[in-house]
A and B are shown apart, each in its own frame.
Chain A
């Protein structure tokens, strides 16, 4: 296979075109003053050249449809094709978001049922589907916590407690909502340091942001105790849904005492993930946060579905997007959940944790060091390459890059920050045993190379379209424009 592909402008020759690529004749009268004076600089290629160019680019892509993608904390599971097919039905595709409710009862009923299924599986009392991505879901969650305290006249609560094993985005979310972040440590076993939590709680506590299982890949065992302490201090509990896959159908955040949760439908509920989205960060709340949900939400009056807006929820934190989130993404999640059903949800959690524990046990047996050797993995786990870095001079990044040569996407590297030289590995439930065994064999060969031929790791990747990139220079001197050299 060809390993590189020029920029399409390099293929361009003056006058080369195809009828299929020419714009339809202008249908409107654009005033002379608004017309551009020079034609835009578009590439001029034949139809076949355009087809080949984009087909080749697509072949250079790495995707879940082509390879194993054990990217921890990201839940890169397979997206069943049927979810896509049903969401692409012309009746859904052609529906205008501002079409009257009377002509969209089918779509609205899907959204209403999706809200209900998410409530049932998380144990929350109400759900809003409007946040467009995980970050916006987090923002909505903390904004609701803030609105709740303000509505009660409790204006001094401006601190959000964030354990160091929380999801990496949580401190940013709290800051975006105008809160002060108070970080608390975790103990040796990965659980929250309860004494530090007690010391941090007080009249300024607005809430705490947690994910369970935590970013350390272990289940927070004292969650009920933590919830009781935070509530007693007047704070609320925020659940980051990053790791929901591990507990689906087994334990519910609502039952653990959480007041608000955001769910990444593009992780747990298998909508497409990566490439910048579109994502979906639906939020679920306990009874006391229900009045503050972002609008619109789908409601049901008698047998009719309708949008609930500011008139129905006067205390809402407001609107987060032009309309109501990414409808096509929500439909895919709806189909996924309907196909799985209650039993299937539970199996997602069981097989994702089984796959993670299988990988962990096998990698440990061949010589990899788990970060939390005393703990069972949740749906993901951490290994540390601290020893290899110290003794052989090969880092977690070298291991990650070498995996690319074996056709595997690298696991998450250097996250969580707590564990030095770490790889965070999440196989998900959709990988077959043979695929996991292939990954284990590749990891075994990496260990072998680390001791015999470390330069194989340090120089990797060797077989990818581009070799190791200078990411420091890319960050310091970012330049995303391409221009033809004058000679061309």
Chain B
């Protein structure tokens, strides 16, 4: 079974959001998503300063199987992309919830985060897709 940390929020399209103490958030793709994609060979992360809408394609992950868009889980402004992924895309496979995060965002509204799935809801979503 894939890991679904209890302290994160999730989307149905398999992104996660971590709220940081300063009000910003980290976003990435879930353990389930990285396992489904397989070994990643290329990641394109958004540049700092870019404004994204909820559901906008804001990053690209590419494995030997497929290239997929990553959707912004919430609206906001990109603080920085995780540039380490340019040379080490495998970080997403190794630590999807840690060093393999995709970007930091400044959320447009805190309420939008509350509207995302919690760990239990996301686990149920995974079960329904299987």
Which residues of chain A have a CB within 8 Å of any CB of chain B?
171, 181, 413-415, 417, 420, 471-472, 475-476
- Which residue of the partner chain, among A171, A417, A475, contacts B66 with CB atoms under 8 Å? A417
Contacts of B39 in A (CB 8 A): 472
- Which residue of the partner chain, among B36, B41, B57, B69, contacts A475 with CB atoms under 8 Å? B41
Contacts of A413 in B (CB 8 A): 65
A-B contact pairs, 19 of them (CB 8 A): A171-B69, A181-B57, A413-B65, A414-B65, A414-B66, A415-B66, A417-B66, A417-B68, A420-B36, A471-B64, A472-B39, A472-B41, A472-B64, A475-B41, A475-B42, A475-B64, A476-B41, A476-B89, A476-B90
Contacts of A475 in B (CB 8 A): 41-42, 64
Complex interface bits, B11-45 against A, C-beta within 8 A gives 1, otherwise 0: 00000000000000000000000001001011000
A391 to chain B, nearest CB (A): 13
Cα–Cα distance between A234 and B66 once the two chains are bound (Å): 33
B24 to chain A, nearest CB (A): 26
Specify the chain A residue showing the minimal Cβ separation from B129. Answer: A420
B92 to chain A, nearest CB (A): 13
Cα–Cα distance between A476 and B93 once the two chains are bound (Å): 14
A382 to chain B, nearest CB (A): 15
Cα–Cα distance between A471 and B65 once the two chains are bound (Å): 10
Kindly list 16 other residue pairs between chains A and B, CB separation below 8 angstroms, not including A417-B68, A472-B39, A476-B89: A171-B69, A181-B57, A413-B65, A414-B65, A414-B66, A415-B66, A417-B66, A420-B36, A471-B64, A472-B41, A472-B64, A475-B41, A475-B42, A475-B64, A476-B41, A476-B90
Cα–Cα distance between A392 and B69 once the two chains are bound (Å): 30
B14 to chain A, nearest CB (A): 13
Interchain pairs with CB closer than 8 A, number: 19
Cα–Cα distance between A181 and B41 once the two chains are bound (Å): 24
Contacts of B41 in A (CB 8 A): 472, 475-476
Contacts of A472 in B (CB 8 A): 39, 41, 64
Q: Is the interface of A mostly helix, strand, loop or mixed?
A: mixed
The 8 lowest CB-CB distance pairs between A and B, nearest first, are A475-B41, A472-B39, A414-B65, A471-B64, A476-B41, A417-B66, A472-B64, A475-B64
B74 to chain A, nearest CB (A): 18
Cα–Cα distance between A414 and B38 once the two chains are bound (Å): 11
Cα–Cα distance between A149 and B52 once the two chains are bound (Å): 26
Cα–Cα distance between A475 and B42 once the two chains are bound (Å): 8
Cα–Cα distance between A221 and B41 once the two chains are bound (Å): 38
B68 to chain A, nearest CB (A): 7
- For residues 35 through 71 of chain B, which have their beta carbon under 8 Å from a beta carbon of chain A? 36, 39, 41-42, 57, 64-66, 68-69
- For residues 65 through 124 of chain B, which have their beta carbon under 8 Å from a beta carbon of chain A? 65-66, 68-69, 89-90
Contacts of B57 in A (CB 8 A): 181
Specify the chain B residue showing the minimal Cβ separation from A477. Answer: B41
Cα–Cα distance between A472 and B62 once the two chains are bound (Å): 11
Contacts of A414 in B (CB 8 A): 65-66
Contacts of B89 in A (CB 8 A): 476
Contacts of A171 in B (CB 8 A): 69
Most-contacted residue by chain B among A171, A413, A417, A472 (CB, 10 A): A472
Specify the chain A residue showing the minimal Cβ separation from B65. Answer: A414
Specify the chain B residue showing the minimal Cβ separation from A472. Answer: B39
Cα–Cα distance between A181 and B68 once the two chains are bound (Å): 13
B38 to chain A, nearest CB (A): 8
Cα–Cα distance between A53 and B86 once the two chains are bound (Å): 40
A403 to chain B, nearest CB (A): 17
Cα–Cα distance between A414 and B62 once the two chains are bound (Å): 13
A442 to chain B, nearest CB (A): 23
Cα–Cα distance between A256 and B64 once the two chains are bound (Å): 36
Cα–Cα distance between A181 and B42 once the two chains are bound (Å): 21
Specify the chain A residue showing the minimal Cβ separation from B41. Answer: A475
B75 to chain A, nearest CB (A): 16
Specify the chain B residue showing the minimal Cβ separation from A416. Answer: B66
A423 to chain B, nearest CB (A): 13
Cα–Cα distance between A482 and B39 once the two chains are bound (Å): 26
Cα–Cα distance between A420 and B38 once the two chains are bound (Å): 12
Contacts of B69 in A (CB 8 A): 171
Specify the chain A residue showing the minimal Cβ separation from B36. Answer: A420
Contacts of A476 in B (CB 8 A): 41, 89-90
Cα–Cα distance between A331 and B69 once the two chains are bound (Å): 39
Contacts of B42 in A (CB 8 A): 475
A182 to chain B, nearest CB (A): 10
Cα–Cα distance between A413 and B57 once the two chains are bound (Å): 25
Cα–Cα distance between A171 and B68 once the two chains are bound (Å): 11
Cα–Cα distance between A132 and B64 once the two chains are bound (Å): 27
Cα–Cα distance between A101 and B8 once the two chains are bound (Å): 69
Specify the chain B residue showing the minimal Cβ separation from A386. Answer: B130
Contacts of A420 in B (CB 8 A): 36
B19 to chain A, nearest CB (A): 28
B62 to chain A, nearest CB (A): 8
Cα–Cα distance between A436 and B57 once the two chains are bound (Å): 42
Contacts of A181 in B (CB 8 A): 57
Cα–Cα distance between A472 and B89 once the two chains are bound (Å): 11
Specify the chain B residue showing the minimal Cβ separation from A471. Answer: B64
Specify the chain B residue showing the minimal Cβ separation from A415. Answer: B66
Cα–Cα distance between A420 and B41 once the two chains are bound (Å): 20
Cα–Cα distance between A356 and B69 once the two chains are bound (Å): 32
Most-contacted residue by chain A among B42, B65, B89, B90 (CB, 10 A): B65
Cα–Cα distance between A413 and B64 once the two chains are bound (Å): 11
Contacts of B90 in A (CB 8 A): 476
